[in-house]
Amino acid sequence: MKKTWKYAISGAEHTPMTAPLVLEGSLYELMEKARTYGYDALEFHTRENYDFDLDRIAALRETGKGDICTLATGRLYTQGGCCLLGDTQQSVDGAMNGMQTYIDKAAALGCDVVLGLAKGDVKPGEDRGEVMARLAGRLQVLSDYAAQRKVRILLEVINHYETNTLNTAEEIMTFFEQYGLSNCYVHLDTFHMGIEEFDPCAAIRRCGKRLGYLHIADNSRRYPGSGQFDFARILSALAEVGYDGYVSLECFPEPDRDTTARKTIEHLHDCEKRAGIQ
């Protein structure tokens, strides 16, 4: 079987103690570090108004010293308090404007955006069908805005302890089948799948060509290879659907950032070998 995907690693300039983010440091240093550890690119977590030095990034790319594949937007919600299903107009406008700013930055960088918690929730007493239609309408605006700029929206499937919408591959695929949203792609995460899916490989196959991004962590949300998940099986499922996006490490940096980054890439290469993936 053929390896069709690339590997990425998550990082931010400042990571809260509770965040499952591996690297911490300046963006440009992290882009280089990712490459040194053997990953193809960096997944960067930041606020929407981050000032990217595009010349410096272009130089890192041209010399093969570093790359950036995604901007994660969760801080729009966790720090900015805005989400697409917000209960005030200010929260919704903040999320729409904030996402458009992230998309503008991603367009300048030539990368994609991840949308997870900034999606929001159905509130008690609300009609779920109506709320999901409202979410689809707002996503359609963002999806069109991003498509015009050649940016894809990677919509993350997150477990039900963190959010109450789009918790499984089946749910998001049914949502896409109902509303189209052709520039939105499924973003799975092995940690969340361990909670929600009967079989993560079946979930990958259900998404097929609509799978756009994958976070990996082991069952305890520590590095792949530290726990019970079978990553050889997961990589085989990716090969089966011809997945050509990034497999990005998002886990707790325990026992430390360096060990996490090294052990993961070692384990992934070992799993590739065991699964006969070249």
Handedness of CA 210, 216, 219, 224 (dihedral sign): positive
Q: Which of residues 187-246 bind Mn ion (CB under 5 A)?
A: 189, 215
Q: Which of residues 153-192 bind Mn ion (CB under 5 A)?
A: 189
From the list 250, 261, 267, 277, which residue makes contact with ligand LER (rule: CB under 6 A)?
250
- Which of 67, 250 has the CB closer to Mn ion? 250
| CA distance linking residue 215 with residue 204, whole number of Å | 12
From the list 130, 162, 177, 240, which residue makes contact with ligand LER (rule: CB under 6 A)?
162
Answer whether 103's CB lies under 8 Å from 61's CB: no
CB of 18 to ligand LER, least distance (A): 9
CB of 165 to Mn ion, least distance (A): 15
**Positions marked catalytic:** 156, 250
| CA distance linking residue 48 with residue 42, whole number of Å | 17
From the list 48, 112, 156, 218, which residue makes contact with ligand LER (rule: CB under 6 A)?
156
Place of tokens 């406008």: 93
Can residue 154 be called a binding residue for ligand LER (CB under 6 A)? no
CB of 274 to ligand LER, least distance (A): 26
- Which of 11, 74 has the CB closer to ligand LER? 74
Can residue 35 be called a binding residue for Mn ion (CB under 5 A)? no
Tokens for 58?
Answer: 């272009």
| CA distance linking residue 9 with residue 35, whole number of Å | 9
The secondary structure of residue 254, as a DSSP letter, is: -
Can residue 35 be called a binding residue for ligand LER (CB under 6 A)? no
Size of interface with Mn ion, in residues (CB under 5 A): 3
Q: Which of residues 54-83 bind ligand LER (CB under 6 A)?
A: 74
Judged by CB under 6 A, which stretch of 81-89, 156-164, 200-208, 261-269 contacts ligand LER?
156-164
From the list 158, 188, 251, 268, which residue makes contact with ligand LER (rule: CB under 6 A)?
158
Residue 68 host element (H or E)? strand 68-72
CB of 156 to Mn ion, least distance (A): 6
CB of 91 to Mn ion, least distance (A): 22
Residue 60: which residues within 8 A CB-CB, separation 6 or more?
Answer: 28, 31, 32, 66, 67
Burial readout 133-170 (b: 16 or more C-beta within 10 A, e: otherwise): ebbbebbbebbebbeeeebbbbbbbbbeeebebbbbbe
Residue 138: which residues within 8 A CB-CB, separation 6 or more?
Answer: 84, 92, 95, 96
Work out what residue 162 binds among ligand LER, Mn ion, none; the CB cut-off runs from 5 to 8 Å by kind. Answer: ligand LER
Tokens for 215?
Answer: 């976070």
From the list 80, 86, 116, 253, which residue makes contact with ligand LER (rule: CB under 6 A)?
116
| CA distance linking residue 277 with residue 143, whole number of Å | 34
Question: In the complex, which residues of this chain contact ligand LER (CB under 6 A)?
Answer: 74, 116-117, 156, 158, 162, 189, 215, 250
Question: In the complex, which residues of this chain contact Mn ion (CB under 5 A)?
Answer: 189, 215, 250
